[in-house]
Amino acid sequence: AQSVSQHNHHVILSEAASLELGCNYSYGGTVNLFWYVQYPGQHLQLLLKYFSGDPLVKGIKGFEAEFIKSKFSFNLRKPSVQWSDTAEYFCAVLDTGRRALTFGSGTRLQVQP
């Protein structure tokens, strides 16, 4: 069965600091990977996705993620965070047979002004 591990449960950064959130997955089929973000009081929104091709994918609001097949990782990065990036971030892998997303437990990011 597939699984997703997010190592950082709670991250606190100052504005302008660089961000990297870890995500490791376990899945035996074709990999489709996602990062979703949930801002306070809002619903889950897609940040970026990887299906195939260039392993470095760019998403909204300056976020990017790198797919490293050999490490089964899909880490999220942003060079300079803003207070408005305060949110919970979820990594997910799609089971292409069952059409089910498997999510990690999430990382709560708190950016201090």
Partner 1 sequence: DTGVSQDPRHKITKRGQNVTFRCDPISEHNRLYWYRQTLGQGPEFLTYFQNEAQLEKSRLLSDRFSAERPKGSFSTLEIQRTEQGDSAMYLCASSFSTTSSGRETQYFGPGTRLLVL
State in angstroms the smallest separation of the CB of 65 from partner 1: 15
Q: In whole angstroms, give the CA distance from residue 96 to residue 59.
A: 22
State in angstroms the smallest separation of the CB of 5 from partner 1: 11
Report the interface residues with partner 1, using CB under 8 A. Answer: 4, 30, 32, 34, 36, 42-46, 49, 51, 90, 92, 94, 96, 98-106
Please check whether residue 72 is in contact with residue 93, taking contact to mean a CB–CB distance below 8 angstroms: no
CB closer to partner 1 out of 52 and 70: 52
Residue 103 phi/psi, 5° resolution?
A: -100, 150
State in angstroms the smallest separation of the CB of 113 from partner 1: 26
